[in-house]
Structure 1
Amino acid sequence: MYPRSVLSSPALSSASRLSDGSSRHSDQGHRTKSQTDFEIERPLKGATNSPSKRPSSRRVKSDYAAEHALRGSVSRLLSAKARPFTTCGRIPLDPSALVLFFRSKSGITHSLDFPIDVDYDTPPALDVLLAACRPHQTAGINVYPDRDSLFYPPNLPLTATLEIANHPILDAVRNAIFPNLPVGHYLITVRDRLEVMASGCRMTPQPRTLRNDGRVATIVVTLPVQYRGGALIVRDAEGSEEKFFGGGQPGEVEWAAFLAECEYEVETVQQGCRMSISFAVHLKTYGPSVDPLITPSEHFLDLLSPVLSLTRGRKVAFYLTQDYGINPAETIAELLVPHLKGSDSLLYHALKVFKLAPELHWAAGGYIWPLERTVECGNDAVPETPAMMGFGAPYTSPSKRSVTMQARPMSYYGSPAEDEELDMMKTDSDVIRSRVEESGAIPLVEAEIVVLSDWAGQMTKERVHFASGGDLEKLVVNILMVTYVP
């Protein structure tokens, strides 16, 4: 009789074997079910049918329950790790340096200094602040209106010396709950509201429908006011829950952030007063297409205006000048738009000011690739070397040459060796040209594109590697910014 246990990994199976003193004699009689799911059969010590040497059913059930609990715990851990919806941290800030300024309904401006302990001394400005606050919206019938949480009206001026832009909070939020934001996308914050909960008060669940301002997340900063209880509870759309208890060490201010799809509430404050400022986090795009952060100067636009006026009705192109370090054989040039920098970004934005639609294309040797095509040169079969053919000659690694698709001057008075080298270059150029045409590139003349360049400035140079005649060569590729001027 062989008791069986199904284990999910070698690590767990080894642990299970250690739980049985007879496991070291279990090398025989085992079999594997699959590579990732093992089904192991092992005989009992002594291979006897004596009931006294059989493992008790209680012990087997205990081992199975432990493994089942471990699997469930690991599954929950990995699920929470796969999609975090909250993050939190602390701001190293001296509470005495924090001041809150607000204007009451009477038009008088007040200042509230921190830290605050209402059980020891309640500042008069805090009473004025509480009198100006309004209760939160609640769902259903409010049985205890005197226990509602309060918020300061958004139409009354309110500011604080705490500026979260001075702390890397947004970087932490981006890394924790927005790790896949592409380059050119950034987060900004807008102060939302000041929330106050006195002793005995709580905040009912605040659904996301109450925050229809286009935010992607919310940051809650707990102000340094002494309180007990009042834990912040955040739930995502699937019902997962996170709880933040606040407090912290002296000289620190706690903050928590969560996605806009979450709802949050605050448990009953048992003692003291809980105050917090919430900030709405919005997603903005830094790029040539949406909400650019830079604007070309009037002088630069004045220099570009006559160029566009003299090229009306034509397709014009400019060479990019910055280095981007990408492989033209693996990506299209248009994907560089969010990554444009320096003079390239300035020119792109300037063309957008004139309501033009610039595009990025790969170009080389008077040829230009279509918008959706990559640069493909193909590879020749590597010829056999003498060492490969069995002659014993040493094999040398292929040389590396940089091939540019530009016209080369020809000399009528060169030596025969120079003429042979020119003929070889011409042959290589013809081969590369045929490959370029096969990859979909067309001549600039055929595309009716006028390149505006003085041939004196720097140009972007990306390289495509390919094998030709046993050599590893590199085709130098430029990037053209093409637009039609109506």
Structure 2
Amino acid sequence: MDTSTARFGAQTLGGTASAALLEQLSQSIDEHAAAATFAVGGAIPILDSADRNGPKIPIQQQQQQQNPADQVAPASATEQSKPNTHTSSPVILRWDSSNDSNLTSKLVFPLEPNTSGNLEQLVKDCQPATFGYKGKDIYDETYRKASKLDASAFSSTLNPYELGIIDAIAQVLLPSVKDASNMRGVRAELYKLNIYSGPSGKFQAHVDTPRSDSQFGSLVVCLPCDHEGGELIVRHKSQNLNFDWSTSASEQSEVPSIKWAAFYSDCEHEVLEVHSGHRITLTYNLYVSRGSGNLAGHCPWMDPKQLPLYDTIKSMLQVPSFMMKGGLLGIWCSHAYAHSHSSSIHNLPGSLKGVDMAMYEIFRALGLQVTIRPILDGCTEDYSGDSDYSDDSEDDRMPEAIIGEGLHELEIADTLIEDTDLNGICRELGGYYHGNVVWLSEMRHRELAIAYIAYGNDASMGTVYSGAALIIEIPPFLDRNI
């Protein structure tokens, strides 16, 4: 018995052939996660605005149509009136035209009656499409026969974000992108409009050249226009995917749809020959981005000076008596962050939110050094009497805190430590220091930071928790330049 049969059981699966297929699938999932998700695609029906809500069926009629065993509670009137968010309005395309009567021409997809003249005008206004080879743009119809408009020459009402296309790409393709573990979003940049016309439009097998280090793939959106042929073939590690958007590939009764496909930049792909009609596509370059929820410290399009607390904090720092000699200012995080888990540490400080992000951005905008640090719980008191970690304080009234030099995973001490001897814990593990901190808030959230074997009357498991806080280094008043 071969390994696939032994693993899955030939009798249960209906033979060794089925077992072999499952073994192949299992290996793809276990060993080649990226290969298993190298491309994704779909279709979005286009409906007029009047039809996007769908037909209204009375609740009683819906219940009569249902199998009694499958009946569920009827939807509310509000839910029934919601538009179908998985449909698109007709797509309007406008472009710079050479037509003497109009500076701009227009097409609506699906094509409206009597628009063949505008379609031919679009084809006429396009330029021959080149392809990149060894850093040069090459025009060779034996390799690629197509026409194009650059993004600066046209506009369209199609928005891949509103249609959910970018969300799908982010959830399917982004997790397997190398070196993108701290990225949560996808940015799509419109690149070109391409037309492959029958009877010989094509693009032979090729691999795209990324435009930057952050580009990871391409998105191709096909607008509804009658054509035959022109299948998009995407290949990766001996696997092929065929995206056939031709008229004959769609059912005659199918509602006109936007068809799309996205794939990694290292995938070989080609456009097979178009036999008739015009295959019209919009191409987008896909880039990894920090996305929603991971923007703190990486959001130059937001002006911290417009945040409500900016003027208050700036005025505070301009008062000579406020921390005249400088020191550490502390703000406990208002929201809970998994700051001692390896899977989440790399997201901080990027994932700060709400007032935490506002404070982080404001102090940075004022030119001050801001870090997020773990502070051992219960350690904001004077331990300096016998501590090896003590710093001479310029203000004995400021409480002392045991501060982590950086975020870290849960640490486990492998030697016995006297119970409640926090200095011993820090001495054993390292990575902590004592600092006098002026706190502007109180701890709200904490999580397990250290575990150790404690000895006292009996050995027991000791634990220390930490809270995440923003630590701001305030320079002496004369050095602030604010």
What SS does the aligned partner of 1:278 have?
Answer: strand
Aligned-partner SS, 1:174:
helix
Work out whether 1:339 is the aligned partner of 2:351: yes
Which of 40, 48, 53 is the matching residue for 1:87? 40
CA contact (8 A) 1:317 1:452 kept: yes
Q: CA 1:270–1:479 in 2, change beyond 3 Å: closer, same or farther?
A: same
Residue matched to 2:267:
262
Partner of 1:279: 284
User: Do residues 112 (structure 1) and 65 (structure 2) align?
Assistant: no
Alpha-carbon distance in 1 for matches of 2:341, 2:172: 33
**2:271 is aligned with what amino acid?**
V
Q: 2:424 aligns with which of 431, 434, 442?
A: 434
Give the partner amino acid of 1:148: K
Give the secondary structure class of the aligned counterpart of 1:268. Answer: strand
Q: Distance in 1 between matches of 2:447 and 2:22?
A: 50
Work out whether residues 193 and 283 of structure 2, in 8 Å CA contact, stay in contact via their aligned partners in 1. yes
User: Alpha carbon RMSD of aligned pairs, Å?
Assistant: 4.0
Q: Which residue, out of 388, 391, 402, partners 1:367? A: 402
TM-score (norm 2): 0.66
User: 2:187 touches 2:287 (CA, 8 Å); kept in 1?
Assistant: yes
Quick one: which amino acid aligns to residue 279 of structure 1? Answer: Y
- The Cα offsets for residues 291-316 of structure 1, whole Å up to 9 and x where unpaired, read as 45643244522222244455577442
Change in CA separation of 1:240 and 1:334 when aligned onto 2, cut-off 3 Å? closer
Higher gyration radius (CA): 1
Q: Which runs of 5+ in 2 are unaligned?
A: 49-88, 380-400, 476-482
CA distance in 1, matches of 2:342, 2:92: 54
Equivalent position of 1:36 in the other structure: none
Residue 279 of structure 1: CA displacement? 1.4
Could you say which residue in structure 2 is the equivalent of 1:128?
121
**Which whole-Å CA distance do the structure 1 matches of 2:207 and 2:325 have between them?**
51
State the partner residue of 1:217: 217
Q: Taking structure 1 as the reference length, what is the TM-score of the superposition?
A: 0.65
Aligned in 2, Cα 1:359/1:246: closer, same or farther, shift over 3 Å? same
> Secondary structure in 2 aligned to 1:340?
coil
Offset, 1:208: 4.5
In structure 2, the residue matched to 1:461 is: 446
Residue type of the alignment partner of 1:257: A
Q: Find the counterpart in structure 1 of residue 311 from structure 2.
A: 302
The partner residue of 2:145 within 122, 143, 148 is: 148
| Residue 35 of structure 1: aligned partner | none
Q: Secondary structure at the match of 2:369?
A: coil
Q: Which amino acid aligns with 2:471?
A: V
Deviations 1:313-347 (A, max 9, x none): 74423222324253748789776312211211111
**Structure 1 residues 203, 323: CA separation in 2 closer, same or farther (over 3 Å shift)?**
same
Measure, in 2, the Cα distance between the counterparts of 1:330 and 1:268. Answer: 50
Aligned CA distance change for structure 1 residues 126 and 183 (closer, same or farther; 3 Å) = same
Identify, as 1 or 2, the structure richer in strand. Answer: 2
Matched, 1:451 2:437: yes
**Distance of 2:128 and 2:210 partners within structure 1:** 16
What percentage of aligned pairs have identical amino acids?
A: 19
**Higher alpha-carbon deviation: 188-197 or 464-473:** 464-473
- Residues in 1 aligned to 2:341 and 2:90: alpha-carbon distance in whole angstroms: 56
Q: Write the letter of the residue equivalent to 2:108.
A: D
Residues 1:172 and 1:483: Cα distance change in structure 2 (over 3 Å): same
Residue type of the alignment partner of 1:322: S
Q: Could you tell me whether the CA contact under 8 Å between 2:182 and 2:346 is conserved in 1?
A: no
State the shift of 1:275 in Å. Answer: 0.8
Consecutive unaligned residues in structure 1, runs of 5 or more: 20-62, 382-426
Q: 1:374 Cα deviation (Å)?
A: 5.5
* Contact map agreement 2:5 2:20 (CA 8 A) in 1: no
